[in-house]
Amino acid sequence: MTLQRVFLRFSLLLAASCLLRIGQGSAQTTTHKPQSSKASSPSAEKTYSPELVQKGKALFRQDCSFCHGRDATGGESGPDLTRSKLVAADVKGDKIGPVVRNGRLDKGMPPFDRSDDQIAALVAFIHTQRNAMSAAGLRGQGGRKGVDPSDLQTGNAEAGRQYFNGAGGCANCHSPTGDLAGIASRHQGLELEELMLYPTHAKSKVEVTLSSGQTLNGTLAYLDEFTIGLVDADGVYHSWRTADVHYKVDEAVNAHVDLFSKYTDDDIHNLMAYLQTLR
Amino acid sequence: MKLVRSIFLIAASAVAAVGFAPSLPAQVDDQVLVHPPANSWPGYHGDYSGRRHSSLTQIAPENVKNLSLAWAFQSNQTSLIKSSPLLADGILYFTVPENVWAVDARSGHQIWHYRHPRSSGEHIGHRGVAMYKGFLYFVTPDAHLVSLNAKDGTVRWNVEVADVNKGYWTSMAPLVVRNHVLVGVSGDFDNLNGYIRSIDAESGATQWQWDSTPPAGTPNQTTGGMTWMTGTYDPDLNLVYWGTGNPTPVLNGSTRPGDDLYTCSIVALNPDTGKLAWAFQVSPHDTHDWDAVETPVLVDADFHGEPKKMLMQTSRNGYFFVLDRTNGKNLLTVPYGPVNWALGVDKQGRPIPNPAKEPAPDGRIIAPDEGGLTNYRSPSFDTKNGLFIVDAHPSWSIYFAKPADGVYGWAGADYDVWGKGVLEAIDYQTGTIRWSHELGPEGSGAGVLTTDSGLTFTGDAMGNFLAIDSSNGKTLWHAGSGSVIVSSPTAYELDGRQYVLTSSGSVLFAWALPEK
């Protein structure tokens, strides 16, 4: 059965990459040979030997599939790699390789000490999956599924606008003509909804007062019970023992946390509808 | 280099053999398992109770500020250590997927290292070994149980527990009860039935199997109920307590109407027969991946003035449960953090799932997130203060499922939105949180150990090991570990010296007071 699945996937992949090549070829001006268009486009149409893909699949199954799904389309916690921007931009493992070897500890991904050959096999498998899945609109079997922008259109924009300006308190910090102007052109679908619910990458400002009375301001770079670190306006990192200083972290982003227990699902869908009008 | 290492190993083993031979006590036997001496940690939880509480008092609130590194052991692997090292006869045995080490508990030097041939199956984590009469029991990513000779790490036998090609894998530390080696299985990406298998400690033969769900393909019945964490055992009642995992398909419950027994349940089994004595379901008809495999902690104490044999669990679904473990009757059900998926609690003490909070095509906001309000990391019951201490994860997420996602495996999508770590000390009689201690953004993967001297050991989200005053939650000692902590601490005493063992990343750390 597994073998059959491999063959099935491989033939799908071939079909998919043929379609892609035709599509891209017709978009190209005729001065380029098909070969050179292949080189100029990062990953979309490169094909790999079945042996390499099979080897990558086996490695992927052992170390990656719990989080990213057996088909690389998403598992228990990791993102769908077939829709990943990083994978799309990867050329011969130049983006994927470092992530595998260094991990992303801040996101819970451990590093994997893998040889060049193993990385090449993983890259072949991931790109093969990306080509097959995205071109044919397929979803992997068993793993986590995806969310399309069309799934997130059930709200009422006017109700969302009222919530934004009223009960939600969003207008206390945000403005549709200021920081959110054009937000729906920059972010779409699930990515926009996730940013709306909690802007993970928002930087907190911090003010640290030393025992001398001197005050320093900057972007919070590190904080635990024992140490506080900031990056100042010149980009220089400073740190102190928390016991030795007073500090005040700008916690505006916590307004998002306060909303979680107040939102109805309709509030979220309406707000999402409203934000999508800000193009 | 390999040769050099082998020579070193031979030399090391020779030294070890000379050092230990004269005073060798009995290896892990029934007596040690029921009443572990201070110089042992004979199973995943230490003793059978799952309390992860040490009676040792040398390291105390007054002197813990002097705690220092006795030794560190570098596994030189990229896999994170999730196992609890087992300790017997002065030797620690611990694991990452496909690797077992025997390490001298006094010095941290390696005695042997067993590397299993690279196998298929998930290599997501490994919780450690079990031991009985000089032999170790070790599960593999391709769902085999391997018995190793504890002396030298040589393979005694290897039996299949589940079919990796169907989508099963194994990662748990087996539980030994007499000659029964109890093993559980994992597998959420396929519609498979979960089970616990009892394997003969000597021969490797299957003694019995208890199925948590009907065979795959039974109409209108659930699959799932994976048994991927180590249970606990009450020798007096002769009952084993085990948590079962979520149903499958995971996020879509349409093909499995009803409660989906026995998924997301705590079950009591007779270890000699595998017969079910009772079951309590903590999440009827789960659609959020909230396995109920968190440690079923066994406590004998007063409950509102009456002496009770209790079982307590801080469950992944966000509720703290206290049960009478003689019959499975519920004594207390109360949330220990934000939960928004239940309409209330039914007469049996089970949360009532709100159908409006099942995953939907346009998303539902849910607390806690898929990782849950806690997870496999161990809690601890502090017998002195009557506190159930857990590394909690207040969190919010969005859950999606639509017909196009099908009814196989995950069958939907969910995304964590926000979370943090908080150490909570829960009064077991009321569920009141007596004190809490912030552990940092996203949350911490560290388990908890308490000691009779009044200390709580755990770790924060930034990778600091922490020693905390169990009576009030104040930090008394810390050390930055340099990586993430995804394991639970243990403690032991050797040569009159108390050690606390923690791990972070791929390194094991032994802490002790300075030698006199």
Half-sphere exposure of B446 (CA within 13 A, CB side): 34
CA distance B50 to chain A (A): 27
Q: Does domain A205-249 have CATH number 2.30.30.100?
A: yes
Going by their DSSP bridges, the two strands B53-54 and B449-451 should be labelled as parallel
For residue range A48-92, what is the model confidence (pLDDT) as tens digits?
Answer: 999 999 999 999 988 898 888 888 888 777 888 988 889 989 999
Q: How far apart, in Å, are the Cα atoms of B109 and each of B12, B80, B178?
A: 8, 19, 31
CATH code at A2-136: 1.10.760.10
Alpha-carbon dihedral angle through residues B71, B74, B79, B85, given to the nearest 10 degrees: -40
For residue range B107-141, what is the model confidence (pLDDT) as tens digits?
Answer: 999 999 999 998 888 898 999 999 999 999 999 99
Q: What is the ipTM of this complex?
A: 0.91
Residues of B in contact with A61 (CB under 8 A): 120-122
Residues of B in contact with A190 (CB under 8 A): 415
Minimum-distance CB partner of B400 among A110, A147, A226 = A147
Interchain CB distance below 8 Å, A261 and B371: no
CB count in 10 Å sphere of residue B478: 17
Ranges of each domain in chain A: 2-136, 150-200+254-275, 205-249
Interchain CB distance below 8 Å, B190 and A226: no
For residue range A223-270, what is the model confidence (pLDDT) as tens digits?
Answer: 999 999 999 999 999 999 999 999 999 989 999 999 999 999 999 999
Q: From A65, which residue of chain B is nearest by alpha-carbon distance?
A: B122
Is the pLDDT at B104 greater than 60? The verdict is yes
Q: Does B118 touch chain A (CB under 8 A)?
A: yes
Banded model confidence at residue A17, pLDDT cuts 50, 70, 90:
very low
Give me the pLDDT at residue A110, please: 82
* Strand ordering across the sheet containing B329-335: B297-303, B306-314, B319-324, B329-335
CATH code at B2-512: 2.140.10.10
Kindly state the percentage of chain B with pLDDT values over 90.
Answer: 91
Banded model confidence at residue B66, pLDDT cuts 50, 70, 90:
very high
Q: Rounded mean pLDDT of B390-403?
A: 97
Q: From B356, which residue of chain A is nearest by alpha-carbon distance?
A: A265
Q: Which of B464, B392, B390 is nearest to B421 (CA)?
A: B392
Ranges of each domain in chain B: 2-512
For residue range A90-131, what is the model confidence (pLDDT) as tens digits?
Answer: 999 999 999 999 988 777 788 898 999 999 999 999 999 888
Q: Does B8 touch chain A (CB under 8 A)?
A: no
CA distance A27 to chain B (A): 32
Q: Rounded mean pLDDT of B369-379?
A: 97
Interchain CB distance below 8 Å, B167 and A112: no
CA distance B293 to chain A (A): 16
Going by their DSSP bridges, the two strands B144-149 and B91-96 should be labelled as unpaired
Q: Does B400 touch chain A (CB under 8 A)?
A: yes
Q: Rounded mean pLDDT of B421-441?
A: 98
Interchain CB distance below 8 Å, B367 and A145: no
Q: From A265, which residue of chain B is nearest by alpha-carbon distance?
A: B364
Is the pLDDT at B15 greater than 60? The verdict is no
Interchain CB distance below 8 Å, B409 and A2: no
DSSP H or E stretch at residue B267: strand B265-269
Structural contact between residues B181 and B213, judged by C-beta atoms closer than 8 angstroms: no
Which residues, 6 or more positions from A95, have their beta carbon under 8 angstroms from its beta carbon? Answer: A86, A87, A89
Which residues, 6 or more positions from B465, have their beta carbon under 8 angstroms from its beta carbon? Answer: B446, B457, B458, B459, B478, B479, B481, B485, B502, B504, B509, B511
> Residue B481 in 3-state DSSP?
coil
Q: How far apart, in Å, are the Cα atoms of B71 and each of B318, B499, B510, B515?
A: 37, 10, 5, 13
Give me the pLDDT at residue A9, please: 32
Cα separation of B462 and B236, whole Å? Answer: 42
Interchain CB distance below 8 Å, A62 and B410: no
Q: Does B404 touch chain A (CB under 8 A)?
A: yes
